[in-house]
Amino acid sequence: MRLIFAKKLGFCSGVKRAISLAQSIPKRNNKKGTVTNPVHTLGPLIHNPQEVERLEKRGVKAISRLNQIKTGTLIVPSHGLPRSILKKIEKKRLKLIDATCPFVKRAQLLAKSLHNRGYHVVIVGQKSHPEVISLLSFANGDASVVETPVDVDKLKTTKKIGVISQTTQSVEKFEKIVERLKTKVKKLKIHNTICKETSQRQKEAKGLAEKSDLMIVIGGKNSANTARLYEICKKVTRAHHMESPAELRLYSFNKKGVVGITSGTSTPDWIIRSVVKGLHKTQPG
């Protein structure tokens, strides 16, 4: 079995920034050993369960509701938060650290700007994704989420539309939806807000899949960008989406095959290394 690797693996710059911010907060304890400046994230900081668990062991705990905390530091996750939640955080007077990815921040500001200029905002993305929920709030709710080209026909207005994208969206899907919008909308403003690193990895994954008998896409099962990579790869060749090396035992591997390795942007290097190590163990001798 021969392994070939994507050039870009592991964390993207936005995730590296979020992790760095979380780890840079000094921990303070009183004489009893109780933490006096608890650090929390509202929802997972990034979409990788193993890395979130590692951070929790270092004192950065993910919570699901704002009323779970009264004091301390709250970190905005890399995929952002809705404006209504940000306002509630201000009222609680918590120390706020904004780890929103700069690419997501740009999309948020564009959503706000387009709305202020009278455009109905169309977001190409997944309705349930936290980033998309955040983007909707920056358009003041005057926005529609489009997941497929067919959804374009369901839009309530087609007079003046500004289109943006979830930053981890498939480039191919975004382009197909934009082409459909062009045939329906009188005045269309297009902003491709897909993260450059995301689009580069998608392109590279396709090229790697074309050279491989099997692709292994490493990343959280809750990671949108990892899911996109998996979708791209399985259109070309056999592919497995793995979150951890424990999943290797579910599959058999051809000794003579070529296996391509790529990862989502929120996948830590230590998980990639452990999967690769596990792969080598499947080939005794």
Is there a common fold for 2-10+197-281 and 103-194?
Answer: yes
Dump pLDDT digits (tens) for 4-46: 999 999 999 999 999 999 998 866 555 555 555 689 999 999 9
Angle among Cα 155, 109, 122 to the nearest 5 degrees reads 10
d(CA 48, CA 45): 9
Report residue 221 as tokens: 């099962």
Q: Which among 51, 56, 90, 131 is annotated as catalytic?
A: 131
Q: Is 215 within 8 Å of 260 (Cβ atoms)?
A: yes
In the numeric block, the tokens 């760095």 are attached to 20
Looking at CATH, the fold of the domain delimited by 2-10+197-281 is given as Cobalt-precorrin-4 Transmethylase; domain 1 (3.40.1010)
Q: Determine how β-strand 258-263 pairs with β-strand 214-218.
A: parallel
Q: Is 47 within 8 Å of 79 (Cβ atoms)?
A: yes
The burial class, CB within 10 Å (0-12 / 13-18 / 19+), for 229 is buried
Strand segments, DSSP code E, in the chain are 2-5, 39-42, 60-63, 73-76, 95-98, 120-124, 143-146, 160-165, 187-190, 214-218, 238-242, 258-263
In the numeric block, the tokens 């989420």 are attached to 145
Angle among Cα 10, 12, 18 to the nearest 5 degrees reads 110
Calculate helix-pair angle for 224-234, 196-210, nearest 10 degrees.
30
d(CA 238, CA 271): 21
Q: Does the annotation mark 204 as catalytic?
A: no
What pLDDT tens digit does each residue of the chain (285 aa) get?
899 999 999 999 999 999 999 998 866 555 555 555 689 999 999 999 999 999 998 889 999 999 999 888 999 999 999 999 999 998 888 889 999 999 999 999 999 999 999 999 999 999 999 999 999 999 998 899 999 999 999 998 888 999 999 999 999 999 999 999 999 998 999 999 999 999 999 999 999 999 999 999 999 999 999 999 999 999 999 999 999 999 998 888 877 899 999 999 999 999 999 999 999 888 765
Question: Span 13-101: which CATH code?
Answer: 3.40.50.11270
Where are the chain's structural domains? 2-10+197-281, 13-101, 103-194
Looking at CATH, the fold of the domain delimited by 103-194 is given as Cobalt-precorrin-4 Transmethylase; domain 1 (3.40.1010)
* Prediction pTM value: 0.89
Report residue 279 as tokens: 């792969």
